[in-house]
Amino acid sequence: MPSSFRWKIPLVAVVVGLAVWFAFPLSERINLGLDLQGGMHLILKVDTTNLPPEALKQDVTGVALEIIRNRIDQFGVREPLIQRQGTDHILVQLPGITDRERALKLIGQTALLEFKLVADSQRLLERALDGTVPEGHTLAYDETGDPLLLEEADRLTGGILADAWVEPGDLGLPEVSFRMTRDGARTFGRLTGSNLNRRLAIVLDGIVQSAPVIQSRITDAGRITGQFTRAEAHDLAIVLRAGALPAPIAIEEERTVGPSLGRDSIRSGVLATAVGGALVVVFMIVYYLLAGVIAVTALVLNLLLVLGGLGYLSATLTLPGIAGILLTLGMAVDANVLIYERIREEVRTGRPLSLALSAGYDKAFSAILDSNVTTLFAAFFLYWFGTGPIRGFATTLGIGISASMFTAIFVTRLIFEWLLSQGLLKRLPMLQAIGATKIDFIAKRRLCYVLSALVIAAGVAAFVSRGEARYGIDFTGGLLQEYRLAEPVAADALRATMGKVGLGDAVIQQFGGPAEWLIRTPGQTETEVQQTLALTREALTADHSAAGPPELVRVERVGPTVGAILRQKAWFAILWSMVGILVYVAFRFRHVDFGLAAVIALIHDVIVAAGVLCLLGRQIDLIIVAALLTIAGFSVNDTIVIYDRVRENLRLHRKLPLLDVINLSVNETLSRTLLTSLTVILTVVILFFAGGEVLRDFSLCLLIGFVSGVYSTVYIASALVITWRRLFEPRRA
């Protein structure tokens, strides 16, 4: 074995060992995303618009965050995520929470507890009922519906409480007992001692819970009675212990996933990964024989490295993340195919196998490096601008690309070198489905330009004509509910059901089987959202529960402000990815026209994919943006392989015109382009059919973009360099 590679054996051994160490205890190191285990994702806005100036002197959002954290900790959520975002937003993730209404009430309830004396004057009460509330008083109603006039002068708040807990009341109903602080007990004692035989109202968030008569001076404890369930009393005690929020909380984004959808997502994701990986393994072994077995060994190690990387980073594995694993398995084969096809060329020239192996790896390295770095640009900007599952996809993609470079460049070469040193490798047979070609691709460039222009024009027309309907709820805001019914139902019947409760204008879409439906309604206020959820459940239960109650498996709510921000971030992610790729390609190939041609080709593929989705009536959301950036990375990946060969042939054939050099380079790399594309497209097809409905549009977008990428790589990217130079080179001269 060459001495230059001996030092790399310990490196590979250490990396493999660490990967295995971190990959196996998955349950302890890798967190499952909410889309895989169920739970809630919330973005809360702290509304400080109506606060007095003195209240704004404190960090209102920071105080609200700590109060929410205390409430959630006492609620018993396992491994919640609570983070501040910006100046007035809070991110909350609650894994495993299934009772969304209870959780939302616990988090969003202001829990402002007040003690107010009830005015004795019947005359003042009558004036208040007539519409003239006396100054320093408020009109309220007790638990029986009787009107009360409350005095504001001696008002006390829940800040005097030290603790609160649940106890059974006189009639067996749960009550909330509380104990006061030392200062609070003195203040409360003075209030009750000087107002014996008067009623004292206990008010929570403006609602009178009870208004008992003060029979004696109270200095240490009390209780709140009402028509509470055990859970309501428990949650009230929690919010009283944690304290009142300093400002109202508005929910600007909510994504709730039921546990059944999480189980389905895991099952479909694992199935797609297993089937897609198996097909790639079969293809590599059948086509490349022994070299294919070595590539599959590297593929298994690549999977361990991805899982190990996720474990080391304690990353969150999401459903798009599983798709990212499958996609990186397909792309990992890309580097092996590049190397093997190079080795085949070197063997064909008559070189000994050892020299052919060395030359194959050396000549393929630059193409592998450039193509993977450009894909990493897409992964980086996806992570930077993305949220939630998108970041999970970007993390998996980034780790997978880095791992595939390591296994393809180091591990497989070490295996070949070891086999050679042991005398076990005399020849390296491979099948060859695509022989040498001499196609004049550049001559067809004008026809291809027209064809691409027509497809792009149709897609852009569909994009523009659909207006806001082209965007999903991520970008427009609104409410999405996914229901799973016990039996199939027709769309017209479901629409008629929604019409009975005034929701006939809701967008109803079948999602998966005939018993699974998405119901979309436009952006609404918090009150309207709760009303829509209740009306939908009521209508579906009334008309479609004969075989069993309808199951709400997913809720997504995005406020219009958050939707606009997410849309802006998506466009920034795409824009900066293009700029990064342009600068890198122009730098690596020393020509701006190569970089511009590559970026125009990938923009072509992104527009084609988005346009065809619009033509098919699909919507663009964050998951689709992730797919579009992946398409951009894949498109540049193949284009760089051709550019790399052009760069090499320009040195070997100095007297050939550039047009002939490009044609020669495209023909020489055609088999590699088709084979690498085949392995990736194969995995995406499996993802489309077996990845579940949640990833259906994602995989469809990838499939369209990857097919377009093969076409643009061969017919557009290289031809644009010729067109550019014919247009601008004479002017420079």
Domains and CATH numbers, the chain: 39-107 (3.30.70.3400), 113-244 (3.30.1360.200), 258-467+563-732 (1.20.1640.10), 478-558 (3.30.70.3400)
Q: In what order do the strands lie in the sheet with 156-157?
A: 156-157, 113-117, 200-204, 207-210
Instruction: Give the whole-number percent of the chain exceeding pLDDT 70.
Output: 93
Mean pLDDT of 137-158: 85
Task: Lowest mean pLDDT of 284-293, 691-700, 721-730, name the range.
Answer: 721-730
Could you write out the three-class secondary structure of 255-278?
EEECHHHHHHHHHHHHHHHHHHHH
From residue 457, give the alpha-carbon distance in Å to each of 144, 453, 476, 620: 67, 6, 24, 18
Is residue 304 scored above 50 in pLDDT?
yes
Per-residue pLDDT, 733: 41
Average pLDDT of the segment spanning 175-204: 88
pLDDT digits (tens, 9 = 90+) for 622-667: 888 888 878 887 777 778 888 888 888 888 888 888 889 889 988 8
pLDDT band at 388 (very low <50, low <70, confident <90, very high): low
Torsion, Cα of 285, 288, 294, 299 (10° steps) = -60
Distance CA 346, CA 331 (A): 24
pLDDT digits (tens, 9 = 90+) for 415-440: 898 888 888 888 888 888 777 788 88
Q: Are 16 and 297 in contact (CB under 8 A)?
A: no
What pLDDT was estimated at residue 451?
93
Evaluate the CA torsion angle 55, 61, 64, 66 in order and state its sign: negative
To the nearest whole number, what is the mean pLDDT of the chain? Answer: 82
For the cut 50, the answer to whether the pLDDT of residue 535 exceeds it is yes
Residue 316, amino acid:
T
Tens of pLDDT, residue by residue over 321-375, are: 877 787 787 777 888 888 998 898 888 888 899 899 999 898 888 878 877 887 8
Whole-prediction pTM value?
0.76
pLDDT confidence of residue 10: 62
Residue 481, SS3? strand
Q: Does residue 487 have a pLDDT over 50? A: yes
Of the candidates 533, 537, 539, which has an alpha carbon nearest to the alpha carbon of residue 521? 533
How confident is the model at residue 732, as a pLDDT? 46
293 pLDDT band (50/70/90 cuts)? Answer: very high
pLDDT band at 286 (very low <50, low <70, confident <90, very high): very high
**Least confident interval from 14-18, 23-27, 150-154, 618-622:** 23-27
The residue-averaged pLDDT of 480-499 equals 88
